[in-house]
Amino acid sequence: MHFVIEGLKKTYDQKLVLDDVDFSFESGKIYALLGRNGAGKTTLFNCINDDVETDAGEFYFLNGQKNAIKPLDIGYVLSTPEVPEFLTAYEFLKFFLDINKDRIEDLKTIEEYLDMINLAKDDHHKLMKYFSHGMKNKMQMLVNIIARPKLLLLDEPLTSLDVVVAEEMKELLRTIKKDRIIILSTHILDLALDLSDEIVLLHNKKLSSIKKDDLGDEKMKDEIIKTLRSQE
Amino acid sequence: MKKTLKLCLDLKVAYGINMVFDLLKKLPLIGKHLPLNLYSSYKLKNFCALIAIIFEFVSIFLGKFLYYLCFFYLPLNLYHSDLGATFLHIFLLLTLIGLLSNTALFSPDKEAYYAIVDLNVDAREYILTNFCYKLLKMGLGYLVLFIIVGYIYGLNAFYVIVMILGVTSLKIMMAYFKLYYYDSKIMSFINKTGFYFILLLLALAYLGPISTKVMPNLLVLIVFSFAILFVYPFIQKISSYKHYRLFAKRELNKFMNGQNQLKGLSKFLSEKRISDDASISSNKSGLAYLNELFIKRHRSLLYTTSKRQSIVSLGIFLALIVCALVINEDLDGLRSMILSYLSYFVFIMYILNRGSEFTKCLFMNCDHSLLSYAFYKEPANLLKLFRLRLVELIKVNLPPALSISFGLSALLGVSGEREPINYLIIFLVIIMLSIFFSIHHLVLYYLLQPYNLEGVKSIAFSVVSFISYLLALIFMYLRLPNLIFGICTIVFCLVYSLLSFYLVYRFGAKTFKLRN
């Protein structure tokens, strides 16, 4: 299965951000979307997730034939974790499972899910308004992966997490990448090299790919920085 | 001090100008075509600065004039007591209310944050300069107002001077208490019970003159004179306070935590008011589970005002009934007034409706986070939740509506009305209006979803809200027989509700989303 972007164009305040973007992502892979600050990474995600209107272009899954994307096909983990703070972690998950249980394969108990992200037992019944940034991030990630969306978008997912949580999240992402496409946006080069199977550059309003196995890590870094420095 | 004042005013003007530019950019049709470099146009900035200065100057007098019109001119028409004495009586009591509700040495806002934190302006200098500027503005406003009012009610220059200096002195004294005793028991008692004190003072201010019982002029003069005589040590204490920077930081932190202010309701406030009560739970499932937990954990935020409204309106009607029974003349006039002024309740029910606060709270504490999840945005889920929320909002607004409809019916009963249909109309109209405005607010929220974390982002929402406010206001001047007005209102509310349900069901899933 492929996720295809075709002819995507997006303008913000008379400024062209994405210009006729074409790209195809393959399932089973983690893609790192790299770009300089303000290059349009979040805009690209917002377009894919139908949070902002696009000026032109389309998205679809290609599995022998074109399949339209339904909202539930996409999981979107925002850089600032968003969880309903008036609920406890347990209640949030119960609510989520109540709504989605019919479409979740291999349904586990709430405790089992919370254990998956190593949430301490004491925190299961704590209001999420008292959760740290990292704990909220884990909860957001959990809810987004339980439903097994075909496409998982992660906007700067590990940037503000402590090293332990960041490692846990990386491990989690590696274990769930089978049969789905994961795109994570980041501007941290080492994270991109460490976690992804393929690097995608958002530069000069277009997407381009750099395959990791073509070059060694150091050469690749040089290549990426050289490309990102170049202006049209 | 002069330099600080100039900096404060410059900041204020710059902030105002950029807000106007931002607003212009958001205007439908025009906004998109405005150049990106609008912010760098000096000519336009100077023009806007001039307007801002004129506006600041006019607002000094306009505010005081409106204050006089609403709180003195209109009520004074109803009394038969000595107008000069009544004016002084109400003025003193309203001044006391102002001390409780609207006196602060320092009002933390964005300008203050930029000045003290970002630009490192001396906190003491900033706070005292602004406080003096505020007092000066107030004094100037009162001076012009009192010269006119004094002429009308026969109060001489001596009264005018004592009142202005007296109010200023009282404000300084209160500011002193707020500075030195901000976390004392007495202050927290005042903060908690201030609302009831204010009610009591309001009742004294406006009910006293009905029976021509007003404070003697001498007493008012003595209170203000005492304030003037004893203010000096308070001024000294305020100016020698040592910890202004700490004080400013504390107040600014409180403010910045609540920066996502949506016209009075901040995320900080809502977060603070998520109940920690561990016994709260729900036996429901799915969306009903979410909704029930939301309501239970925000009960105090959602219901406190509505409860207060119910108590106050019952109190007002009770007072009116007592007055009617005591005066016991021209009850027929009262009866026909109630029946022909029912249209006033369109505006009253609009003002009392908690829909706007309810939707802000929904957004800040629930939808803002959940709308980023695909499952939550599924049309079937959104619409089911819309129904559940509508029932809750109607429940929030029902207590004041019931207390008004019963109170008004009782007053009508005292006035001698014998026609049962008129009671039915009053009951149905008030309840229907309450339900109608609940629907109106929630439908607007779902169709325009106007909020993001910074505030109201939708110009369309602001325009529609203003138009509904205007329409409710216009209704006050509509004079229709009770029966016709009642039937028209009920039919209109039903048609509007059905139409808006259709719109939410047809478009809600597309329109109800996060705004950037």
pLDDT in tens, B111-133: 888 888 888 888 888 999 989 99
A46, A76, A86, A150, best to mutate vs chain B, most B CBs in 10 Å:
A86
pLDDT at B261 over 50: no
* Percent of chain A residues topping a pLDDT of 90: 34
**pLDDT for the residue numbered B510:** 82
Nearest by CB to A98, from B36, B289, B513: name it.
B289
Which residues of A fall within a CB distance of 8 Å from B513? 51
pLDDT bin (cut points 50, 70, 90) of residue B264 is very low
What dihedral angle (degrees, nearest 10) is formed by the CA atoms of B501, B506, B512, B516? Answer: -140
Q: pLDDT digits over B401-414, tens only?
A: 999 999 999 999 99
Pairing state of beta strands A66-67 and A56-62?
Answer: antiparallel
Q: A101-135: b or e for each residue (b if 16 or more CB lie within 10 Å)?
A: eeeeeeeeebeebbebbebeeebbebbbbebeebb
What's residue B400's pLDDT? 96
Q: Which of residues 23-52 of B touch A (CB under 8 A)?
A: 25, 32, 36
pLDDT tens across A179-224, in order? 889 999 988 888 888 888 899 999 888 898 887 766 567 777 787 8
As a whole-number percent, the residues of chain B with pLDDT over 70 amount to 94
Please give the angle made by the CA atoms of A35, A38 and A39, to the nearest 5 degrees. Answer: 40
Residue of B372, B376, B449, B514 to mutate, testing the A interface (most A Cβ within 10 Å of its Cβ): B372
Question: In this predicted structure, what is the pLDDT of residue B355?
Answer: 92
Give the tokens for residue B81: 């007591």
Distance from C-alpha of B235 to C-alpha of B254, rounded to nearest angstrom = 26
Q: Which residue has the tokens 């007092």?
A: B135
**Chain B nearest C-alpha distance from A221 (Å):** 33
Of A82, A83, A86, the CB nearest to B298: A86
Q: How many CB pairs under 8 A join A and B?
A: 70
Cβ–Cβ of A75/B271 closer than 8 Å? no
What distance in Å separates residue A116's CA from the closest CA in chain B?
A: 20
Three-state helix/strand/coil letters over A17-72: EEEEEEEEEECCCEEEEECCCCCCHHHHHHHHCCCCCCCEEEEEEECCCEECCCHH
The arithmetic mean of pLDDT across residues B427-444, rounded, is 92
The C-alpha atoms of residue B339 and residue B55 are separated, in whole angstroms, by: 41
The DSSP call for residue B118 is I
Read off the pLDDT of each residue in A28-42 and give the average, rounded to a whole number: 89
The token pair at B257 is: 């935590």
From B33, which residue of chain A is nearest by alpha-carbon distance? A14
A contact set with B (CB within 8 A): 13-15, 46, 49, 51-52, 71-76, 78, 82-87, 91, 94-96, 98-100, 127, 129, 143-144, 147, 149
B274 touches chain A (CB under 8 A): yes
Rounded Cα gap, residues B346 and B429, in angstroms? 9
Residue B23: HSE in the Cβ half-sphere, 13 Å Cα cutoff: 12
Question: Looking at residue A231, what is its pLDDT?
Answer: 63
| Chain B residues touching residue A74 (CB < 8 angstroms) | 374
> Residue A171 pLDDT > 80, yes or no?
yes
* B293 closest CB neighbour out of A75, A86, A129: A86
- Which residues does B359 contact at the CB level (< 8 Å), separation at least 6? B441, B442, B444, B445, B451
pLDDT in tens, A85-142: 999 999 999 999 999 988 887 889 999 999 888 889 999 999 999 998 888 988 998 8
Name the average pLDDT for chain B.
Answer: 84
Which of B287, B366, B381 minimises the CB distance to A84? B366
Residue A201: exposure state from Cβ atoms within 10 A (0-12, 13-18, ≥19): buried
Q: How many other CB atoms are found less than 10 A from the CB of residue B90?
A: 23
**C-alpha distances in Å from residue B290, one per residue of A55, B285, B384:** 36, 8, 12
Write out the H or E segment, with its range, that includes residue B415.
Answer: none
Give the residue from B231, B229, B240 showing the smallest Cα distance to B128. Answer: B240
Q: Tokens representing B214?
A: 């007003």
